[in-house]
A and B are shown apart, each in its own frame.
Chain A
Amino acid sequence: MSDATKLYAQNGDPVFPRIVLPEIPNLAQIETYESNGGYGALKKALSMDPAAVTDVVKKSGLRGRGGAAFPTGLKWAFMPKGNEKAKYLAINADESEPGSFKDRQILEFNPHQLVEGILIASYAMGIKAAYIYIRGEYYKWYKILEKSVEEAYSRKYIGENIAGSNFSVDVYVHRGAGAYICGEESGLMESLEGKRGYPRVKPPFPAQNGLWGNPTTINNVETIANVPAIIWNGAEWFAKIGAEKHPGTLLYGVSGHVNKPGVFELPSGTLLTDLIYKYSGGVIGDKKIKMVIPGGSSMPPLRGDQLEGVKMDAESLKGAGSAIGTGGVIVMDEDTNLTKVLLRITKFYWDESCGQCTPCREGTGWMKKILQRMYDGGGKVEDLDLLVRVANNIEGNTICALGDAAAWPVKFTIQRFRKELEEELASQERSAAA
C-alpha cells in the first residue's frame, strides 16, 4: 500500500488510492511537492490543447465535491471559447456546511495540488485571473494559501508565460468575513465583488454572466485538487475508481457520536457502516445509532436502522432517500434529543438566511419558534404538520438552495421519526392539561 501514498497516486492503483491527501510528510512545502513530481501535471497539461484538457476531465467523470455533484468537465465546457471578454475562475474554499471539515485538510496538507489544479483549469478555460475565496474564520489556512501562491509565483508557475509557455494567469486569495451564504456560488461572486452575499437569480448562469458580468466558473477545493492526478494518470484511470457514476475518492468527514471522528479519503461508494464502524471506531459507548446525516446538515437524515448496505456516493444516497452533499457524516446515538437537533439546525439556517426571499427569511424564523416551543415542553402533536407546512412553503420558493437546505432536515426528520416525535408531543400535551 506504500505506493498508494505517492503524489497523484502515480502507481495508478485504483483500489485504495490517496489522490488528494497522499501520505507524504511536509507535502505543503513546495520543495517536497516538487521533489515528488508536483507541477508535473501542469507541464503535461501545457503541452496539450486546452480543449483536450477539458475533454480528459469530462471523460474522467469527475463531479463537483462541493455539494451538488455536477459534472466538472461539462461545467468547464459551458465557458465561451473566445477571449473577447476576460474569463474568471473562483475557487470555493468557503467550507461552512455544518458537518464539513474536509477542504481545510487539503489547504493544510496539500495546498500546492490545489494551486496546480487551479492552473490546469485556468489553462483549459483560458482564465485571466483565479480567485480563491476562503471563509474568514480559516485564518490559518488563508495564511498557508497566501504562502503557497507566493511560492508558485516565485517559481514561475503563476504569472506571465507559465513554465515557458505562452499561457499567463494570476491567482489571488480572497478572504470572506463570516457568512454561510457566500458558499452558494452566486452569493460568493457578489461577496467577491465587494457586496453583501446575496445570491443571484439564475439564469443567467455564471459561465455567461459571472464575476463583473464576465464568464466565470466556480469550483470547490476538493474538485480542483483532483485535476492534476486526472491529467497525470488519464481519464480511464480515474473513471475506474469507486462508484461508476460518481468516480474517484471522496473526503468523508465523520463527526458526532463516534470514537474516532476525522476525515477519510476513500473510494466513492464506501459503505456508510464501514465509515462509522471501521474507520471512525464505532459509536461512543457502543450505543445504537438513532440518526445519521450523510452529507452535511442540509441533507435529509437517515434512520439508524436504515444504514445497512447504504453506499456513500451521489446515486446510491439518492436511492436511499438522501444526498451526498459534502460527504460530512454526522452520527447521533440513540439518546439524542431530535427536537434539540432540529432546533439547532433550524437556528443555523435562520441565522444565515440572507433575508432576500420572504419564504426563507420568515419561514426559518417560524420553524425555529415552533421547535423552541416543542423543546421547552409546550408542543402539540399538530405542530408536526405545521412544521411540514412551513417547510413546504419554503422549499422551491427561494432564489437559492438555502431555502431547501432549511426545509429538508425538518421535513425528512419528521417523516422518518414521526412516531417518536408524536409520542413526545402527546405526552407534552397531557402534562399541559394536567
Chain B
Amino acid sequence: MFTEENLRRVEEIKNRYPKPMAALLPVLWIAQEQFGWISEETMHYVGGLLGLPFNHVLGVVTFYTMYNKKPVGKYNIQFCGNISCMLRGADNLIEHLEHKLGIKVGETTSDGLFTLKEVECLGSCGTAPMMQVNNDYYEDLTSEKVDNLLEEFRKQAQR
C-alpha cells in the first residue's frame, strides 16, 4: 500500500532505533501523509511492516490526538483554545469560524473543504490567538484575518 519511496523511508527509519517498535510513530506519520487519515486497514498494514500486533497499533493511534481516526477536510483547522489564547479572544474567533463555516467544532463542511477542531496549547502564546491549519501556524489572528484566510483557502482549493 505504501509507495516505493515510502517503503524505502520505513527501512531507513527502522535503522535509527534498536527496536522496530520505535519506528511506529514516524511510520504512522508517513501513512497519514499518504492517505490523509489512518483507517483500521492501514493499522493492520503498518503493524505488518513493523511486526506489531494490530491492538498495539490501535492503542497508539487512539492515544495521540494528531492521528486522524477518520477522514478530515482538505483544510484541517485546529484552533488553540487554551488559556493564553482564551485571554485574547479565542472563544469569539472559534464561534466566528463556526458561524462562517456553518459547522460546529468537531465537524467537517459538507464540501469536504474544512474541518474545525479546538485543540490544546500549540506553543504560540506570545502570538495569540492562533490556529494551525494542516501543518502551518497562523498567528495574531483577528476575525478579518480569519475571513481572509478562509477566502484564500477556498481559492487555493479551486486551482
Evaluate contact between B82 and A98: CB separation under 8 angstroms: yes
Evaluate contact between B60 and A261: CB separation under 8 angstroms: no
Q: Does residue A53 face the partner (Cβ distance < 8 Å to B)?
A: no
In the complex, A135→B132 CA distance in Å?
14
Q: Does residue A310 face the partner (Cβ distance < 8 Å to B)?
A: no
Evaluate contact between A179 and B63: CB separation under 8 angstroms: yes
Contact partner, A178, options B26, B66, B123, Cβ 8 Å: B66
CB nearest to B66 among chain A residues? A178
Q: Does residue B67 face the partner (Cβ distance < 8 Å to A)?
A: yes
Chain A 161-215 interface residues, beta-carbon cutoff 8 Å to B: 170, 172, 174-180, 191-197, 212
Evaluate contact between B63 and A254: CB separation under 8 angstroms: no
CB nearest to A103 among chain B residues? B123
Evaluate contact between B26 and A175: CB separation under 8 angstroms: yes
Contact partner, B126, options A97, A101, A103, A135, Cβ 8 Å: A101
CB distance from B101 to the nearest CB of A (A): 21
Evaluate contact between B66 and A330: CB separation under 8 angstroms: no
CB distance from A228 to the nearest CB of B (A): 24
Evaluate contact between A193 and B64: CB separation under 8 angstroms: no
Q: Does residue B146 face the partner (Cβ distance < 8 Å to A)?
A: no
Query: What is the number of contacts between chain A and chain B, taking CB atoms within 8 Å?
Result: 142
Q: Does residue A320 face the partner (Cβ distance < 8 Å to B)?
A: no
In the complex, A41→B64 CA distance in Å?
38
In the complex, A176→B86 CA distance in Å?
25
Assess A195 versus B82: contact at CB under 8 Å? Given A176-B64, A179-B63. no
In the complex, A254→B64 CA distance in Å?
28
Assess A98 versus B121: contact at CB under 8 Å? Given A174-B26, A194-B23. yes
Chain A 265-322 interface residues, beta-carbon cutoff 8 Å to B: 293, 297
Contacting residues, chain A, for B65 (C-beta < 8 A): 177-179
Q: Does residue A325 face the partner (Cβ distance < 8 Å to B)?
A: no
Evaluate contact between A193 and B66: CB separation under 8 angstroms: no
Assess A212 versus B25: contact at CB under 8 Å? Given A139-B135, A176-B64, A196-B60. no
Q: Does residue A27 face the partner (Cβ distance < 8 Å to B)?
A: no
Contact partner, A137, options B21, B123, B128, Cβ 8 Å: B123
Q: Does residue A339 face the partner (Cβ distance < 8 Å to B)?
A: no
Encoded as 1 (CB less than 8 Å from any B CB) or 0, chain A from 49 to 67 comes to 0000000000000000000
Contact partner, A194, options B24, B29, B120, B135, Cβ 8 Å: B24
Q: Which of A5-13, A242-250, A341-349 sits within the interface?
A: A341-349
CB nearest to A129 among chain B residues? B16
Chain A 106-155 interface residues, beta-carbon cutoff 8 Å to B: 129, 135-140
Q: Does residue B124 face the partner (Cβ distance < 8 Å to A)?
A: yes
In the complex, A178→B122 CA distance in Å?
10
Q: Does residue A217 face the partner (Cβ distance < 8 Å to B)?
A: no
Q: Does residue A38 face the partner (Cβ distance < 8 Å to B)?
A: no
In the complex, A348→B65 CA distance in Å?
13
Contacting residues, chain A, for B67 (C-beta < 8 A): 177-178
Assess A253 versus B126: contact at CB under 8 Å? Given A137-B132, A212-B19. yes
CB nearest to A257 among chain B residues? B87
Contacting residues, chain A, for B87 (C-beta < 8 A): 255-257, 330, 332, 336, 341
Q: Does residue A328 face the partner (Cβ distance < 8 Å to B)?
A: yes
Evaluate contact between B126 and A255: CB separation under 8 angstroms: yes
Q: Does residue A86 face the partner (Cβ distance < 8 Å to B)?
A: yes
Q: Does residue A263 face the partner (Cβ distance < 8 Å to B)?
A: yes
Evaluate contact between A100 and B123: CB separation under 8 angstroms: yes
Contacting residues, chain B, for A340 (C-beta < 8 A): 86
Contacting residues, chain B, for A98 (C-beta < 8 A): 82-84, 120-121, 125
Evaluate contact between A177 and B123: CB separation under 8 angstroms: no
Contacting residues, chain B, for A257 (C-beta < 8 A): 87-88
Assess A176 versus B126: contact at CB under 8 Å? Given A140-B136, A348-B82. no
Contacting residues, chain A, for B34 (C-beta < 8 A): none
Evaluate contact between A97 and B121: CB separation under 8 angstroms: yes
CB nearest to A351 among chain B residues? B120
CB nearest to A336 among chain B residues? B87
Evaluate contact between B83 and A193: CB separation under 8 angstroms: no
Contacting residues, chain A, for B122 (C-beta < 8 A): 137
Contacting residues, chain A, for B35 (C-beta < 8 A): none
Evaluate contact between A197 and B83: CB separation under 8 angstroms: no
Assess A104 versus B60: contact at CB under 8 Å? Given A177-B67, A193-B21. no
CB distance from A381 to the nearest CB of B (A): 25
Can you list 19 A-B pairs with a CB-CB distance of less than 8 A? A98-B125, A100-B121, A101-B125, A137-B123, A137-B132, A140-B136, A176-B64, A178-B66, A193-B21, A194-B50, A195-B56, A196-B59, A253-B126, A255-B128, A330-B83, A330-B125, A332-B87, A341-B87, A348-B121
Binding site for B on A (CB under 8 A): 86, 95-101, 103-104, 129, 135-140, 170, 172, 174-180, 191-197, 212, 253-257, 261-263, 293, 297, 328, 330, 332, 336, 340-341, 344-345, 348, 351-352, 354
Please name 18 further chain A to chain B contacts, defined as beta carbons within 8 Å, in addition to the given A177-B29, A330-B83, A341-B87, sorted by A numbering.
Answer: A95-B123, A100-B121, A100-B125, A135-B123, A137-B123, A140-B136, A172-B16, A177-B64, A194-B21, A194-B52, A253-B125, A256-B88, A261-B128, A263-B126, A293-B83, A297-B121, A340-B86, A344-B81
Binding site for A on B (CB under 8 A): 16, 18-19, 21-26, 28-29, 50, 52, 56, 59-60, 63-67, 78, 81-84, 86-88, 119-128, 132, 135-137
